[in-house]
């Protein structure tokens, strides 16, 4: 058994940031004169992910990928090889990863503001979280971006379980865009189980990140899926893994022999980045 101490300051910081959370549409997404949901007011969508090499939970690649809409073609990608010293704790994933992702967004906003996306898909939950403030919400608040949380597994909170009743509801999702709401014992709607494509039998779990309603998040998810995982996250995952495949050995060797970049202060540091605009 491994005991991990959670500092009260981390919980307080999470609660303070949550006060800034917006769980409704803060932007205009659809032309009020059009009844076609595909006529969405959207030019670019973003996806973020952090990838690891098996067996190493301290060195990783954070990735931000921007896709054009509706083509869903990658027009920008940026990576950082990062060193994490905070332990993996599901309820506090944001404290381990969000700052690295925010750095990539800040860099994009400074150097290529014309490519700043209207929404960013996050590989992780938003309000589907024990305190209603997962990594997608955390990132949205600190970056002041509209975010959507997408999880591949169900986060068990407020009585939500992947039991027989849950599986029966999944079996009733027959086509792309079908979903059912995740309503906990308290009556709170935490998100939705969402079928991405006609051929994807396993749903993803969509939740509000920041500055967006669940209804709009689900509509945008439907428009951004070619496979089970929304394309912005899928591309961030694929490309960050390929980046690690090509550069991991060189980068981790340099990192582990360079105290300036991998110091022992207990503070996670990023020290190398790579960016490509297509």
DSSP of 80-130: EEEE--S---GGGHHHHHHHHHHHHHHHHHHH-GGG--SEEEEEB-SS-ST
Range of the domain at 177: 32-155+165-256
261 in any annotated domain: no
Tokens of 143: 């970056």
Q: How many domains does the chain have?
A: 1
Tokens of 25: 């549409």
pTM: 0.89
Tokens of 173: 């999702």
The answer to whether the beta carbons of residues 61 and 80 sit under 8 Å apart is yes
3 in any annotated domain: no
48 in any annotated domain: yes
Per-state percent for the chain, helix, strand, coil, to nearest 5? 30, 25, 40
Query: Pick from 25, 11, 206: which is nearest to 94 by CA?
Result: 11
Quote the pLDDT of residue 263: 36
12 in any annotated domain: no
pLDDT tens string, the chain, 278 residues long: the values are 444 556 667 788 888 999 999 999 999 999 877 667 778 999 999 999 999 888 887 888 999 999 999 999 999 999 998 888 777 777 788 888 999 999 999 999 999 999 999 999 999 999 999 999 999 999 999 999 999 999 999 999 999 999 999 999 999 999 999 999 999 999 999 999 999 999 999 999 999 999 999 999 999 999 999 999 999 999 999 999 999 998 887 777 766 655 444 433 333 334 344 445 55
Quote the pLDDT of residue 269: 39
Quote the pLDDT of residue 94: 86
16 in any annotated domain: no
Query: Pick from 228, 23, 3, 225: which is nearest to 134 by CA?
Result: 23
The answer to whether the beta carbons of residues 47 and 230 sit under 8 Å apart is yes
Quote the pLDDT of residue 267: 36
104 in any annotated domain: yes
Phi-psi region of 7 (alpha: psi -120 to 50; beta: other; left: phi over 0): beta
276 in any annotated domain: no
- Packing angle between helix 135-143 and helix 8-18, nearest 10 degrees? 70
The answer to whether the beta carbons of residues 235 and 225 sit under 8 Å apart is no
Q: What is the CATH number of the domain that holds 206?
A: 3.30.2170.10
11 in any annotated domain: no
């Amino acid at each position: 058994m491994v005991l991990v101490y959670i500092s009260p300051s981390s919980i307080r910081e999470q609660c303070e940031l949550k006060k800034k959370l917006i769980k409704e549409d803060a932007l205009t997404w659809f032309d009020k004169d059009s009844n076609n949901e595909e006529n969405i007011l959207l030019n670019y969508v973003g996806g973020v992910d952090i990838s690891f090499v098996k067996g190493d939970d301290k060195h990783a690649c954070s990735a931000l990928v921007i896709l054009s809409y509706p083509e869903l073609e990658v027009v920008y990608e940026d990576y950082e090889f990062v060193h994490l010293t905070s332990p993996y704790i599901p309820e506090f994933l944001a404290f381990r990863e969000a700052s690295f992702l925010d750095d990539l967004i800040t860099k994009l906003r400074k150097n290529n503001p014309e490519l700043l996306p209207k929404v960013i898909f996050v590989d992780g939950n938003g309000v589907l979280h024990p305190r209603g403030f997962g990594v997608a919400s955390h990132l949205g608040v600190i970056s002041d971006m509209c975010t959507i949380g997408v999880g591949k597994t169900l986060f068990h909170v407020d009585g939500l379980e992947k039991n027989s009743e849950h599986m029966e509801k999944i079996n009733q999702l027959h086509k792309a865009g079908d979903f059912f709401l995740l309503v906990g014992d308290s009556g709170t709607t935490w998100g939705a189980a969402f079928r991405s494509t006609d051929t994807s039998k396993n749903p993803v779990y969509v939740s509000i990140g920041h500055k967006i309603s669940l209804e709009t998040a689900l509509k945008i998810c439907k428009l951004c899926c070619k496979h089970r995982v929304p394309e912005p996250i899928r591309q961030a995952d694929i490309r960050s893994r390929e980046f690690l495949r090509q550069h991991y050995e060189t980068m981790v060797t340099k990192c582990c022999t360079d105290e300036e970049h991998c110091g022992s202060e207990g503070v996670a540091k990023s020290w190398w980045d790579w960016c490509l605009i297509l």
